[in-house]
A and B are shown apart, each in its own frame.
Chain A
Amino acid sequence: EIVLTQSPGTLSLSPGERATLSCRASPSVSTSYLAWYQQKPGQAPRLLIYGASSRATGIPDRFSGSGSGTDFTLTISRLEPEDFAVYYCQQFSSSPRFGGGTKVEI
């Protein structure tokens, strides 16, 4: 069973700042199967990144993903007001699992 641990639980930043979100996997995950989602209150999740580093259709280039093996990172280069939300990493397999989420707040 793969466990994904996201940190920090909450990230308090201002618009224009850089956000760095961590997702640690145990055991390791193939980069092909690591995704990131954004969820705003009352809304469904939205796919941001798949394959650890590929942006989904329509996702701005201020969002980037990196990492391999057990350590993955989602970076938002310059926070826009609409980026304040909860972010989840996910390993995609025959039994997909999500991390606990990181809330990015103002």
Chain B
Amino acid sequence: EVQLVESGGGLVQPGGSLRLSCAASGFSVGTNYMSWVRQAPGKGLEWVSFIYSGGSTYYADSVKGRFTISRDNSKNTVFLQINSLRAEDTAVYYCARDGREELQFAFQIWGQGTMVTVTS
């Protein structure tokens, strides 16, 4: 079964750091395009970052320089290192696989999300 499971969220103070993980099953993260998308409480969806199958990475302007996406193919896991956290980073963070390899230019598969709360 194709599945994504996020972990690593929690309560953190402003300026702090967290490392989110997204464990995949049923497919290989190393040969797919993976993303992180977040949703602040009661708000809409915001794309955060891509990692392409070739390893290139892209970020939303709102997180550039503070967030880093990476992957470990041996663990079939994608990570999001989030530093210098701000109150506005409070959100549910979803991992997603996009379907461009199948010419489906959309986020096909989503994890259940992990909550990050930034508060003093």
Contact = CB atoms under 8 A, between A and B. Distances in A.
Nearest to A86: B44
Contacts of B104: 50-51, 54, 56
Interface stretch (B10-18, B66-74, B75-83, B106-114): B106-114
A88 interface: yes
B47 A98 contact: yes
A100 B44 contact: yes
B45 interface: yes
A46 B111 CA distance: 10
B60 interface: yes
A50 B106 contact: yes
B99 interface: yes
Interface of B is mostly: strand
Interface string A64-106: 0000000000000000000000001010101111111100000
Contacts of A32: 105
Contact residue range for chain A? 20 to 34
A88 B106 CA distance: 12
Contacts of A44: 94, 110-113
A47 B105 contact: no
A37 B94 CA distance: 14
Contact of A95 (B58, B103, B110, B113): B58
A92 B105 contact: yes
Interface string B77-109: 000000000000000001000110001111110
Contacts of A47: 106-108, 110
Nearest to A50: B106
Contact of B108 (A56, A95, A100): A56
Interface of B: 35, 37, 44-47, 50, 58, 60, 94, 98-99, 103-108, 110-113
